[in-house]
Amino acid sequence: MPQDFQIRRAQPSDAPAFVQMMSDPEVFGGLLQLPYPSESRWRQMLEEQSAMGKTDLHLVAVRDGQVLGSAGVHPAGASLRRRHAMMFGISVVAAEQGQGVGSALMAALVDYADNWAQVLRLELTVYADNERAIRLYERFGFEREGLFKAYALRDGKYVDTVAMARLHPKPPTVR
C-alpha cells in the first residue's frame, strides 16, 4: 500500500505538534519521557539539532500539514569511544499507530544511520510490555540485549524496560 504521507526533517515550527503528541496519554504512556513538554523546549531542541555539523537527525511523518509521528537519532554520548553509537527514539500519534508510519520512520532513520552517518550501533530502551514496538524494532534488526528491572516510573508504578540494539549489517569498508 503506498504511503499517503511524507517523511521530512523536523523543523522548529513543528514544536506545537510535538507538544500535542507528547501530551496524549496514549502516546506518552509508551515513552520514557515525561508528559506535557514545553513548546519552547521542543523548539530549542529542534533548532539545536539542525545546527551545522550535528549528527542528530529528527524526522517527522506529515500528511496535509499534520505531524503523524516522529523519530530521531542522537549520539549515545560525548565520549570519543562511543562515537560509533547513536540512541534511537520514535513516537506516533495514537490514531496512526499500526498504519505504517512507524515503519516508514524506522526505514528512513536506519538508512541514515547505515549509509550516511557512520553509525555502527543503534541503541534504544523500550518498556518490556510494549510488544508492538518491540516487534517493529525486531523487524528492523534490533536485538534484545538486556532487561532493566523497575527501570522507570510509569503511571505510578515502576516498570521494566528492555535494552535493544542493532549493529550495522554490512559496516562500510574502503574501496
Query: Looking at 10-14, 105-109, 157-161, which range is the least confident one?
Result: 10-14
pLDDT at residue 79, rounded to an integer: 86
Angle at 106 between CA 102 and CA 89, to 5 degrees: 85
The pTM (predicted TM-score) of the whole model is: 0.88
pLDDT for 29 beyond 80 = no
What's the pLDDT tens digit per position in 120-150? 999 999 999 999 999 999 999 999 999 999 9
Average pLDDT of the segment spanning 93-100: 92
Name the residue ranges covered by the structural domains of the chain: 6-123
CA distances from 67 to 117, 128, 131, 165 (A): 25, 27, 24, 27
Q: Which CATH architecture has domain 6-123?
A: 3-Layer(aba) Sandwich (3.40)
Among the residues of 96-163, which ranges form H helices? 101-115, 131-139
